[in-house]
Amino acid sequence: MAINVKLDESDVESARVMLYGIESGFPKAYARALNTTSENMRTNMVAMARDDYSFKAAEVRKRITIDRATWSHLTAAVRSTGKETHLTDFIGTNVTKKGVTVNIRKDTGRQLIPRTFKAAARNSGKEMVMRRPGAPRGQHESLYGRYGPPGSGGKAGSRATIDVFYGPHPEIVWNAEHNWRKLEVQADERLKVNFATEVDGVMRQYA
């Protein structure tokens, strides 16, 4: 999905008249407005993701990148991509004697995942929530079969690899139609305000 926002033709023409005679005045103002609006949109996306979920703001922000506009390329893009969301990317993921407790959705309260623990991944060093094969002996096989859970890489007669637990992606929040429309309206409003501010700034600079 994509959000497309642009200025009204009347606003563009008015700005061109006001900036007439100022070298690169229009592209400078427009590029700055686009980039500021993109930053505003990223802030709104982070806030929206955390309305109902306990995502850590920094972890959500990492997933959002901005392709910035330049004077010669008056287009900006805000993209959200990322791999799995680890349970450690949620606020309040704690270790107890019985396992790790999490509060993914704010309206569900804290929940226990039995026998889990937190540990750093061997390759990336990322802290994750994990669980070893079940006990007593044979319980893991009765749950998953001799080869372990899907994707575990376990082999017959061997110990299946440790399970890693994940939470929902923040993208599911933004991809909801009503939220997508809300972001689009916010971006459209901010672009108009930011452009007017930047046009005024360029005029003041060369006054």
Provide the β-strand partners of residue 94: 101
**Omega within 30 of 0 (cis) for the link into 136:** yes
Q: How confident is the model at residue 159 (pLDDT cuts 50, 70, 90)?
A: very low
What is the reported pLDDT for 118? 93
HEC readout, 6-54: CCCHHHHHHHHHHCCCCCCHHHHHHHHHHHHHHHHHHHHHHHHHHHHEC
Q: How many angstroms separate the Cα of 171 from the Cα of each of 86, 104, 153?
A: 14, 14, 28
Instruction: Tell me the whole-structure pTM to 2 decimals.
Output: 0.81
- The pLDDT score that the predictor gives to residue 155 is 45
Task: Using the predicted structure, report yes or no on whether residue 147 has a pLDDT greater than 90.
Answer: no
**Among the ranges given (43-52, 119-128, 149-158), the one the predictor scored with the smallest mean pLDDT:** 149-158
Give pLDDT, residue 163.
85
Closest by Cα among 14, 15, 39, 43 to 28: 15
The predicted-structure confidence for 96-146, as pLDDT tens digits, reads as follows 999 999 999 999 889 999 989 999 988 888 899 998 765 544 444 544 454
Residue 93 has a pLDDT of 95
Range from 43-57, 158-172, 193-207 that averages highest in pLDDT = 43-57
- Domain ranges across the chain: 9-81+170-206, 86-167
pLDDT tens per residue across span 17-28: 999 889 889 999
Task: Round the average pLDDT of the chain to a whole number and report it.
Answer: 85
pLDDT at residue 50, rounded to an integer: 96
> pLDDT by residue (tens digit) across 77-103?
999 987 789 999 999 999 999 999 999
| CA Rg value for the chain | 24
Cβ-count burial of 25 within 10 angstroms (0-12 exposed, 13-18 middle, 19+ buried)? buried
Q: What is the rounded CA–CA span in Å between residue 70 and residue 72? A: 5
